Amino acid sequence: MADAAPTHVAAESIAVPAASDMKIKTVDLEDELHFKFWNPVHYYKALNQHRMRLNLPNPGQFEMLHKEIKTTMLTNFTFDGGRADMAKILSPNFQVMHSFQLGLPGQPSAYEFAGVYADEHTMMHGKMDTDFNLQARMNHAFTKQLQFKAQAQVMKNDSQSMLQVEGEYTGADYTANVKAINASPVDGTGIYLASYLQSLTSKLSVGAELLYQSPMAEIQETSLSLAMRYQPSEDRVWAAQTQGSNMLTTSYWRKISDKCEAGAELVMLNVPTQDRREASCSAGMKYEFASSTFRAMADNFGKVSMLLEERFSPGFSFLMTGEMDHFKGENKFGVGVNIES
């Protein structure tokens, strides 16, 4: 009998929840689920958690979808006549450059002076020619993700002068950019763009760019551009981009070997209001030798061009470029030197 007493006390100390308490807890759970169903923040957090688990790479900038093609093709490298570029490094953060362009028939000779300053967070570049045309740009990184960029040019012809400001945020798997060109807060004129590029998988990224322009207060125009970039491996890239509803640009780049790269680009234009339909196709290649670089390109308009850059020493290189237009019967030829000290 003495042993039964403690057992009776232990049984009395057990707290049994009332039925009303259990009902209250059930109602609280239902309210919580109802709140999450209608709360957009809940879906945003869930989506971010899913993206973090995928560990997707950053897709890069919207305007650099065809960056491999731009470095392979000759569009940004050809010139006509004679040219000499000399650069002087004054400090680890500052250098100046002198550019001379030999005059062609009907074109006077030209000279440009440029300066570049760059540190860990800021880059500034400016140049001026003999006609006092000024071009300048600046990039400043507030953080690793947030950057501010500005470009300005003051030309002898006022219609070509412009000011562009933009902000760019680089996320873990996306890039967002907004920019304004010749924006006027008084009457709202100018050109405004907003772009967003998102990685869907480790190989595929898609994006869109919205353009709003108002050349005059009474005229407003908008257009939407779409983009896709597919990179199945490090040695090949497919890219496609629309510009509004009238232009489509597609490109394919392939790294054949450590020294050889090749690519092709197709541009299609369709303007029904002007009864205009055009297409251009170009193919090019780039080959790296031990001390030189050779580029060649051909298009469907009968143009064949090439560029040879020979590096005689780390601070001296010689350039030779040529272009033959078989349909128009026109030829261009240029030679240049690059000196850096």
Average pLDDT over residues 275-303: 92
Contacts of 153 (CB under 8 A, 6+ apart): 133, 134, 135, 136, 160, 161, 162
Please say whether the beta carbons of 249 and 243 come within 8 A: yes
Give the pLDDT confidence score for residue 81 in this predicted structure. Answer: 87
CA angle 10, 11, 14 (to 5 degrees): 90
Please say whether the beta carbons of 325 and 319 come within 8 A: no
pLDDT above 50: residue 27: no
pLDDT band at 3 (very low <50, low <70, confident <90, very high): very low
pLDDT above 50: residue 1: no
Closest CA to 198 of 60, 47, 66, 68: 60
Cα dihedral 281, 332, 68, 247 sign:
negative
Give the pLDDT confidence score for residue 24 in this predicted structure. Answer: 45
Closest CA to 249 of 257, 260, 241: 241
Give the pLDDT confidence score for residue 31 in this predicted structure. Answer: 59
Q: Residue 106 class from Cβ within 10 Å (0-12 exposed, 13-18 middle, 19+ buried)?
A: exposed
CA–CA distance, 111 with 83 (Å, rounded to integer): 10
Beta bridge partners of residue 282, listed in sequence order: 265, 299
Q: How many CA atoms lie within 13 A of 136 on its CB side?
A: 11
Higher pLDDT, 168 or 56: 168
Give per-residue pLDDT as tens, 242-278.
Answer: 988 889 999 999 999 999 999 999 999 988 878 888 9
CA angle 334, 290, 79 (to 5 degrees): 15
Q: How many CA atoms lie within 13 A of 316 on its CB side?
A: 2
CA–CA distance, 151 with 163 (Å, rounded to integer): 6
Give the pLDDT confidence score for residue 10 in this predicted structure. Answer: 45
pLDDT band at 55 (very low <50, low <70, confident <90, very high): confident
Average pLDDT over residues 49-75: 87
CA–CA distance, 240 with 251 (Å, rounded to integer): 6
CA–CA distance, 170 with 157 (Å, rounded to integer): 36
The DSSP-derived string for 30-63 is: HHHHHHHHH-HHHHHHHHHHHHHHHTPPP---GG
Q: Residue 8 class from Cβ within 10 Å (0-12 exposed, 13-18 middle, 19+ buried)?
A: exposed
pLDDT above 80: residue 87: yes
Average pLDDT over residues 283-307: 94
CA–CA distance, 124 with 114 (Å, rounded to integer): 11
